Amino acid sequence: MNMNSFRLPDSTRIGYVHLRVSDLKQSLAFYRDLLGLKKVKRLDTTVRLSASDEQSPIVMLTEESSARPRPLHSAGLFHAAFILPDRKELAKMFKRLYDHQWPFEGFADHGVSEALYLADPDGNGIEIYADRPRAQWPRRHGELQMGTGELDLKSLFSELRENGEAWTGIHPDTTIGHIHLQVSNLQKAELFYHQLLGFDVTQQTFPGALFLSAGGYHHHIGLNIWNSKDGSPLAQDAVGLIRFGIEIPDRQTKSELKDRVVQSRYWNSAEGRQFLIRDEDNIAINIS
C-alpha cells in the first residue's frame, strides 16, 4: 500500500481532550465556572464538560490527587485550543478572563486566527481563538503562512458595545479546534500523523514545528519539539494529557484506517466502532 495514498475526509475534526488533573474542584472552578463549560456527566473521579447541553463532551477531566507535575521536556500537551464562532465571542471571553484577573500567557495574531493563551490550574496550556475567513488566510507559494504577530487587543475589545455585554457562558457552538502536542522527534511524528493517519501537511516552515489538517483547515494537529526534542514519552503518572479524540464521520474511511493500524505497534484496543491507538510518544488517540 502506498502510504501517501490515504487521506482523511474533509469532515474530520478533533472531538475532545481528556486531561489528568490533581484537584477536580479547582479544575471545575476554571473550566466550568470561569470558562463557562457545562458539566454533562460525572462518573467517580471523571467529569465530562460540553459547551451546551446538546453537544458531545469536548473536555474530560479525571482527578488523580497523587499526580506529579508534568516533566517539562516530556512529550504531551502543548495546548488544547477552543475555537469560538467569531471575533465578538473572542472579545467577550477576553473580557471575562480579564475581569476575573486570570493570568494570560500571551496573545497572538496568527494571520489565520486571533488567539488568547493561558493555562489551567495544573499548568495545562489552553488557547482560545477565533478564525478569520479562509479567503484572508495568508499564503506563499501555495502554503499557509501562519505567524505569531501582535494581537490588536484594542481592536478586539471594540467588538463589544460600550457598556459591554452580559456574560452568559461560553458560546454553545464552541469546539476543540485543534490540539498542539510536544513530541520528541518531528520526523517520526510526521510519519505517524501524515503518512499513517492521513492528515495533510499545511505548514512546515515554522522552525521546530509542523502543522497538519484535514479538509484544508489551517491545522487540526500542531507538533513541536521546542521543549521536548529527544525527550521522554508521555508521562502516565503526571498531570496533563490522557488522550484526545479524532472524529471521522465517514465510516468507510475509518474502517480503512483501522485496517492500516490494527497490526502495527501503534494499535492499542477497540470498543464497538471506536478504537484506540498510540503515537511514537505514547500519546493515546481515540478514533471515533
Predicted confidence (pLDDT) at residue 161 exceeds the cutoff of 80: no
**Residues 94-116, mean pLDDT to the nearest whole number:** 97
Q: Residue 75 — very low, low, confident or very high, per pLDDT cuts 50/70/90?
A: very high
According to the model, what pLDDT value does residue 164 have?
64
Whether the pLDDT of residue 1 is over 50: the answer is no
Q: Is the pLDDT of residue 96 over 80?
A: yes
Q: Determine the Cα–Cα distance for residues 206 and 222; give it in Å rounded to an integer.
A: 11
Q: What's residue 4's pLDDT?
A: 57
The yes-or-no verdict on residue 120 having pLDDT over 90 is yes
Q: How many angstroms separate the first and last alpha carbons of the chain?
A: 23
CA distance 34 to 163: 21
Model confidence pLDDT, tens digit, residues 214-265: 999 999 999 999 999 999 999 999 999 999 999 999 999 999 999 999 989 9
Homologous superfamily (CATH) for 3-287: 2,3-Dihydroxybiphenyl 1,2-Dioxygenase, domain 1 (3.10.180.10)
CA angle 7/10/13 to nearest 5° reads: 100
Percentage, residues of the chain above pLDDT 70: 98
pLDDT of 5 higher than 90: no
Neighbours of 2 (CB within 10 A): 6
12-35 per-position pLDDT tens digit: 999 999 999 999 999 999 999 999
Predicted pLDDT of residue 2: 42
CA distances from 105 to 118, 221, 267 (A): 5, 21, 36
What is the domain partition of the chain in residue ranges?
3-287
